[in-house]
A and B are shown apart, each in its own frame.
Chain A
């Protein structure tokens, strides 16, 4: 059998047409996702030379990443901020999702969900600037307070600090947290709640013993959706933080582009990725009891 007929046969086969169908996506994913990731991994074990990356294998970048106090503390701060943003976002999102699912008339639910997504209509950058305008040194809050004479000098505690971008990020990610929680709450069979009450539990206790555990998968999704991107967020700290308190992403940017130490930047990036993965897996492992075995 010649190569040509084999090729023709392959093209007609189910596997062949399947491959042909997925190949655009596959090529796209390989080029834009897998390849850059592999490059980063490769860079992280190479040696930094002056202006060039020398193809010499080393673990030095990782040793530097994990032992240098500066990188460690920036990493810890990023983790702390991400956790704070995640907790705040989910805590604020849950009541909203609960309200829409349990107290909004079924006919009005779509309208509510639509309203929740409205913030997405403006670009993320514009929303971040908005918070800057609100929280900034000469921002709405400060000038408002000064105009009414409550304070004499602008408060620095509300701008250019960790609190400021926790607030900004929590707002930015709120819809991402509300939607998955809403979906699991919608799926909860209402007769389960009646059953809880019939068995002698108050509404609140029924919530704690039935609704909350059953909504854990949604909470988990919300947590991961917020936590994973915020730890790598780079725009918000830059704008709100005024570059003064860089998060790990800003640190990587500086190393890669300003200090031109690509291998070290790559090593920090890979380490950050590993830490996020580890924290996420640990989180999922802790709540695994609530994630499995439900119909």
Chain B
């Protein structure tokens, strides 16, 4: 990513409502053609961040640059219409009194023929050829979403902001529309900031994920890294259910029912949390009391009894209680495997698949 291709650069952006900080010191950089997903739980300040970039909400402090040009800082505050920013709303916000074609053409300042050409081109691109004369209320949710996309793209914005643009759509429609949207956005080469509270969506759509919590960005990185190297327990928990095993670190080693874990860098005598996602718990059958023979990577196997198993189609969730200590753990296994309650199983934790965090005070 060369310095010159940076489209959107926000630094130390903060905003408080009535003394309550909602967005605190948020910094982000997005390159042309890059999709960054702003991911976080409800109310963490995602929409507020987006609205500040769009210019409809005024930041308390910080700066926003688009293509190197300041659009907001201590001295500048460009109005939304001067920022070259496209915004797609959760409810699409299509103009009900205009046709699809007029909606798409709304932001175009060219002459009539050029407008018509661009509208046709965009409607073609979002797979809605011939929809021009219809009115928004005649369209399905998915079609409205694509019109909103075409409308926002029409003036060729440098930065595209999307606030949960797929949350109003039917689950099965969603994947297809996400892919179309992504394709079109890449072709247009805008820097995209997509707000979502769904980790699956962020993982699927983002070149980069910025994880937000309580107004702060807690982690930024490629989806693979954010998923596989979370900065803390909550970051790990945001993407899936997790199992947490507590232990006390002594001399860089922590003893657990699963053998010892290397916990360098943690205070001697301090409590640590070993976090493992359900799909990374390895399960083996009891085979008449003869346990599995784990590799060094798996450490020691621990015996557990199935309490409950739920079939979810693609996978089954198996809840177990460890024989030693009785701790409850959840494992996710392929859907073909559905053990009865009371079944005795062996569990292993792969050392490279778990995360160790200090226990928060």
Contact = CB atoms under 8 A, between A and B. Distances in A.
Given A200-B81, A201-B81, A294-B137, A194 B87 contact: yes
A194 B135 contact: no
Interface in A187-205: 189, 191-192, 194-203
A293 B81 contact: no
Most chain-A Cβ atoms within 10 A of its Cβ — which of B85, B89, B95, B151?
B95
Interface residues of A, number: 21
9 A-B pairs with the lowest CB-CB distances in the bound complex, closest first = A199-B107, A197-B80, A191-B93, A195-B93, A198-B87, A294-B96, A295-B137, A200-B81, A293-B135
A201 B107 contact: yes
A178 B107 CA distance: 31
B151 A199 contact: yes
A295 B155 contact: no
B109 interface: yes
Nearest to A203: B79
A13 B310 CA distance: 54
Interface in B259-283: none
Interface string A205-248: 00001100110000000000000000000000000000000000
| Most chain B beta-carbon neighbours within 10 Å: one of A192, A198, A295 | A198
Contacts of B56: 194, 197-198
Contacts of A200: 81, 107, 109, 155
A233 B136 CA distance: 42
Contacts of B135: 293
A290 interface: yes
Interface string B127-167: 00000000111000000000000011011000000000000
Nearest to B137: A295
B35 interface: no
Contacts of A209: 106
A191 B55 CA distance: 13
B21 to A, nearest CB: 23
Interface string B33-72: 0000000000000000000001110000000000000000
B137 A197 contact: no
Contact of A197 (B81, B89, B95, B155): B81
Interface in B93-118: 93, 95-97, 106-107, 109
A202 B87 CA distance: 15
B9 interface: no
A191 B79 contact: no
Interface in A252-289: none
Nearest to A213: B97
A293 B96 CA distance: 7
Given A198-B87, A209-B106, A295-B136, A192 B93 contact: yes
A136 B89 CA distance: 57
A201 B151 CA distance: 13
Nearest to A201: B81
A214 B97 CA distance: 7
A209 B109 CA distance: 14
B91 interface: yes
Contacts of A199: 81, 86, 106-107, 151-152, 154-155
Contacts of B106: 196, 199, 201, 209
Interface string A69-104: 000000000000000000000000000000000000
A191 B91 contact: yes
Contacts of B152: 198-199
A195 B89 contact: yes
Contacts of A210: 95
A231 B98 CA distance: 34
B155 A195 contact: no
Taking each of B55, B87, B91, which has the highest tally of chain A beta carbons within 10 Å of its own beta carbon?
A: B87
Nearest to B161: A198
A185 B206 CA distance: 38
Contacts of B87: 194-195, 198
A211 B54 CA distance: 20
A162 B229 CA distance: 81
Contacts of A198: 54, 56, 80-81, 85-87, 107, 152
